[in-house]
Amino acid sequence: AVAILARLGYSVAAVTGRPETADYLRDLGAATIIDRKELSEPSSKPLESERWAAAIDAVGGEMLGRVLKQMKYNGAVAAIGLAAGAGVPSFTVIPFLLRGVSLLGIDSVMRPYAERVEAWRRISTDLPLDKLEGMVSEHGLAEMPALGKAILKGEVRGRVIVNPTL
């Protein structure tokens, strides 16, 4: 998402809990790096200062709640994951009522075929292919136990391809 949005001309802020990945995120196109702690702390405020025009949230949980409270008027958040959980502890409907914020879900199963084809076409043209190689690592089946532990510890970045022939 960072690489695609940066290529399309957006100023992208990337959130990470691992400061050592800042250069990687900047290389993908992030203009700003935000420490995860800044957005993962609970807030009892129903709204916060407007900060984001749009967001893609792969985390869920408290972070999604904080992002929703910081959305600009008529902003939109695409919720694409739940790494921090399916619940939003500090959730309130205030951003939706007072700022017209939209919360968008994803659906890769029931989307009409033509829309899925168009999504893949857009990825093939909007994702800088020179960035793709740095996002993907290939591993054999024998590496899976150790790799699984590394993933759970948050030590793996990008996408993993499992090649059973390795």
Q: Do 58 and 81 form a contact (C-beta atoms < 8 A)?
A: yes
The rounded mean pLDDT for the chain is 92
pLDDT in tens, 39-90: 988 888 999 999 999 999 998 899 999 999 999 999 999 999 888 888 888 7
Buried/exposed 38-67: b ≥16 CB within 10 Å, e otherwise:
ebbeeeeeebeeebeeebbbebbbbbbbbb
pLDDT in tens, 12-43: 999 999 999 999 999 999 999 999 999 988 88
Spatial distance between the Cα atoms of 145 and 125, rounded to a whole number of angstroms: 35
User: 157: helix, coil or strand?
Assistant: coil
**pLDDT value at residue 83:** 82
What pTM was estimated for this model as a whole?
A: 0.84
